[in-house]
Amino acid sequence: MIHLAALPASSTVRQAELAEATDVSGHFLSKVLQQLVRCGLIRSQRGSGGGYGLACAAHTVSLLDVVQAMEGPIQLNQCVAEGPSCERKSWCPAHQVWAEAQASVVMILGGASIAKLAAEMQKGTSATYGLHAQPIWISGVPGKPKGSQISSTKS
């Protein structure tokens, strides 16, 4: 997705060229491309000028969208699923840790724009999102500095 976003708008690239550019095996890439086409993130065009290209504007897609297209909804542990996924959820001390870890993963991946990552790739630099300007401390974990409690509230 990042490589495709770095190409000129509406352009396509053949699978073999994409495999070489991304250093991914053709067989594995084929499966990835099929799934991304099914999810509507990329388009496939047949013919002599065919190949793969973005199906939507890169600035509207996050790394979270790509991961969820490939893997389904983020779920670090069974207990963070909606509904009665775990009978210990209400009293288990680890539940809040899992919930905060999942919220952090979703926030970070959701904040990683494919367009920004493509621009950084073209410049040869690494994207900086500033999501961790300070260390993340999980509430209830001993040994963290006083006054550094960071809560993970969903906005």
- Give pLDDT tens digits for 108-153: 999 999 999 999 888 876 655 555 455 555 555 455 444 444 444 4
pLDDT tens per residue, range 48-100: 878 999 999 999 999 999 999 999 999 888 888 877 778 787 788 888 888 88
Determine how β-strand 51-54 pairs with β-strand 42-45.
antiparallel
Stated pTM of the model = 0.75
Burial zone of 117 (CB within 10 Å; 0-12 exposed, 13-18 middle, 19+ buried)? buried
